[in-house]
Amino acid sequence: MQEKKLLFICGFMGCGKTTQGKKLAKELGYYFIDLDDYISDQHDKTITDLFQEVGEEEFRKIETKALQECINDNVKAFIATGGGTPCFNDNLKLMKDNGKLIYLKMSPEALYQRLFNAKQDRPLIKDKANEEMLLYIENLLKVREEFYNQADVITSGVTVDIEALKNEVLKHIA
């Protein structure tokens, strides 16, 4: 049986997990999976619609099941998680037990700038008034960083040097 070589990329919504994950997967010769897209395809709904329909608790169960399926079904894959994935249902342990975790770190202000025009696509902030959105991001990021900071590789999500990140990741998977 071939040894699993899985990579996971985590971080707050809007930090660039999908964009940078696709680039890095290509550089490393890995198959790329966006966990949110995987869930969306399975349920034939957007993440926002599914989240609204079933609520956060049920959504997190669906997310954990999808993460487990992606781990079970792949040997060499780069998986971009949802922003909350590492924070629920022992998903962080599941990822660390099955591969290496990369955290794209960004400040609340930088995240706010990225998310401002895309908030309708983000279930946790879509109903927030602009003035309360930054405070919400700051508070949620404080909670989630406890999980994110346990990643094997932590890098800036603002300016990502794919070559440098690739070399850093290679140190952890060699």
Q: What CATH number is associated with residue 57?
A: 3.40.50.300
Check: pTM over 0.95? Answer yes or no: no
pLDDT at 2: 63
Domain that holds residue 158: 5-173
Q: What is the pLDDT of residue 103?
A: 96
Query: Each residue's pLDDT tens digit in the chain (174 positions)?
Result: 567 789 999 999 999 999 999 999 999 999 999 999 999 999 999 998 999 999 999 999 999 999 999 999 999 999 999 999 999 999 999 999 999 999 999 999 999 998 887 877 787 788 888 889 999 999 999 999 999 999 999 998 888 788 888 888 888 876
Direct distance between the N- and C-terminal alpha carbons of the chain, in angstroms, rounded to an integer = 18
Q: What does the radius of gyration of the chain's CA atoms come to, in whole angstroms? A: 15
User: What's the chain's length in residues?
Assistant: 174
Return the closest-CA partner of residue 35 out of 70, 4, 84. 70
Assess contact for 63 and 51: CB atoms under 8 A.
no
User: How many domains does the structure of the chain reveal?
Assistant: 1
User: What is the DSSP pairing of strand 76-80 with strand 153-156?
Assistant: unpaired
